[in-house]
Structure 1
Amino acid sequence: MRLVIFDVDGTIVDSAAHIVEIGQQVFRENDLAVPSDHDIRSGIGLSLDVAMLRLLDVKDHDLARKLEQEYRDHFNHKIENGLIDEQIYKGAAEAIATLGSQDETLLGIATGKRLKGVERLFKEQGFGHLFHTLQTPDNNPSKPHPGMIHTAMSETGVNATKTVMIGDTSYDMEMAKAAGAKALGVNWGYHDHGTLRRSGADLVIDHYHQLIDAIDELTR
Structure 2
Amino acid sequence: MSSYAYLFKYIIIGDTGVGKSCLLLQFTDKRFQPVHDLTIGVEFGARMITIEKQLIKLQIWDTAGQESFRSITRSYYRGAAGALLVYDITRRDTFNHLTQWLKEARQNSSHQDMVIMLIGNKSDLDHRRQVSTKEGQQFADQNGLIFLETSAKTAANVNEAFCATARKIYKNIELGTYDTTNEAHGIKVGLSNKNLYSDNDYKSNQPSSGGGCCK
Q: Would the TM-score normalized by the shorter structure come out above 0.5? A: no
What TM-score, normalized by structure 2, do the two folds share? 0.40
What TM-score, normalized by structure 1, do the two folds share? 0.39
Instruction: Please identify which structure carries the higher helix content.
Output: 1
The structure with higher relative contact order (CA 8 Å, sep 6+) is 2
